[in-house]
Amino acid sequence: MIIPLIISTSFRILKNTVYTYGEFAITIGATKTQKMILILKESYLGLLASFTMAFSRAIGELGIALMIGGNIKDFTRVMTTAIALGVSKGEFESSLLLGCILVIIMIVISVILRIISRGIKY
């Protein structure tokens, strides 16, 4: 369900990079492989942002997880559906705790992606 979002944002990023850096690669005498590496190097930050956005959407998704997964205990129950179920049952404490864990996971992943994006040197 999140694939169309990744494709549309990544396509836009790659389209601009391919136009500018693809032509530049030809002018400087790069091989096809070198051209591809250059395009990926120049667009990786944008691509990473696109994946982060898609991941954030996916991890916080409730409707799709409920509709497709069905919220079956020990089988298709995920954090978001467990939180929703907990709230409807009046188990606010455990739901709040799960919510906090979800936020922490997102923060940790965002920090890791940030470190990766800074760490990759051209």
Partner 1 sequence: MNIISLKNIYYKYSQSKEWTLENISICFKKGEITIILGPNGSGKTTLMKIASLIYKPIKGDVYVDNKNYWSLEESEKLLIRRKITYVHEKAVILKGSVIDNIIYGLRIRGMDKESAIKKAIEILNELEINDILHKNALELSAGQSQIISLARALVLEPLFLFIDEPFSHLDKSKKMKVIDILKRIKKEERGIIISLHEESLVEKISPDNLVEIENGRIVSIKTFQ
If the CB atoms of residues 20 and 110 are measured against partner 1, the closer one turns out to be: 20
Residues with Cβ < 8 Å from 24, sequence gap 6 or more?
A: 38
Q: Does 20 bind partner 1 (CB under 8 A)?
A: yes
Give least dist CB 25 to partner 1, A. 9
Quick one: 27 exposed, middle or buried, by C-beta within 10 A (0-12, 13-18, 19+)? exposed
List 9, 10, 24, 78, residue binding partner 1 (CB under 8 A): 24
If the CB atoms of residues 22 and 69 are measured against partner 1, the closer one turns out to be: 22
List 8, 34, 110, 117, residue binding partner 1 (CB under 8 A): 34
User: In degrees rounded to 5, what are phi and psi of residue 71?
Assistant: 55, 50
Give least dist CB 24 to partner 1, A. 4
Please report the sign of the dihedral spanned by the C-alpha atoms of residue 25, residue 30, residue 32, residue 35. negative
